[in-house]
Structure 1
Amino acid sequence: MKKKLFTLIIAELFLFSCTSHKPIKNIGLNPFGEYNREFENHLIHSLTIKEDSTFIYSIKGGEVFNSESKCNGKWQIIANELILNCNKEDLLNQLSSGYLSPRNYKIKFISSEKIYIINEDITLDRK
């Protein structure tokens, strides 16, 4: 009896340790997909979160017709926040008009349909 109980406890510990290596489940939502919103100044903020830990964040429109600033990179979960880390760019890309100077963004999940980008103080809706 003790041997079965010991085996059961070890099996449970093993199962719990395996699930802890999937941090995306900790936020309790499915964050993957596209989020966007158009604001009064005609800026369209778009964020695509992919399952392979990559993302694309872009800002289109505004005063300059057909302008777009964009950032690609990797995301990670830290303390129930999604942290977006933009890839490093070479000097030529940094000087271009499409370069987003903030290189890190913090995201809070409001619901399964809304996210809040803390750095930008904006809310985006799931597409």
Structure 2
Amino acid sequence: MRKLGMFYCLFFIVCSCTIKKNISGNYQYKSVSNGFTKEYNLSIRKDSFDMAYKSQDAYPNCVGKWEIFQDTLYLRCNKENVVTNMLSNGYMNKRDYKLKIIGNQKLMMIEENIVLNKK
């Protein structure tokens, strides 16, 4: 019984490390709602990310830093200092995101309830 418990602990540690190593990449979500397309594009690099949301009349995006805690990926957009950028249709009003890591190929945006697939 003790060996089985140690095996599960070791398996959990190995799986956690695997997820963190493979989180970098490009993720995408596309759908059509009420005749309008809705698209998220997320690019995660070693120490930063950029995310863009595309809808009918706007294409807001942001760049920032990310961190992982357990099975959740936290995205925090950099602060925008230029007022004209904040007033444009390219400014993303929401600046913090939580994504649940689902294996190595999928991320679920918790508040939006959508799944981004790795390209």
Separation in 1, partners of 2:101, 2:65: 17
What is the aligned partner in structure 1 of residue 76 from structure 2? 85
What is the aligned partner in structure 1 of residue 24 from structure 2? 32
Matched length: 99
Q: Which has the higher strand share?
A: 2
Separation in 2, partners of 1:80, 1:63: 33
Structure 1 contact 46–57 (Cα < 8 Å) conserved? yes
Q: 1:33 deviation in Å?
A: 0.1
Percent of residue pairs identical: 34
Stretches of 4+ aligned residues off by more than 3 angstroms: 25-28
Q: Which amino acid aligns with 2:73?
A: L
Q: Deviations over 1:6-43 (max 9, x none)?
A: xxxxxxxxxxxxxxxxxxx8463111000002111312
CA RMSD of the aligned region, Å? 1.6
Q: Which amino acid aligns with 1:58?
A: A
Q: Which amino acid aligns with 1:111?
A: G
Q: Which amino acid aligns with 2:77?
A: C
TM-score, with length taken from structure 2 = 0.75
Q: 1:78 deviation in Å?
A: 2.3
Give ranges in structure 1 of 5+ residues lacking alignment.
1-24
Q: Which amino acid aligns with 2:18?
A: G
Give ranges in structure 2 of 5+ residues lacking alignment.
1-14
Could you say which structure has the larger radius of gyration? 1
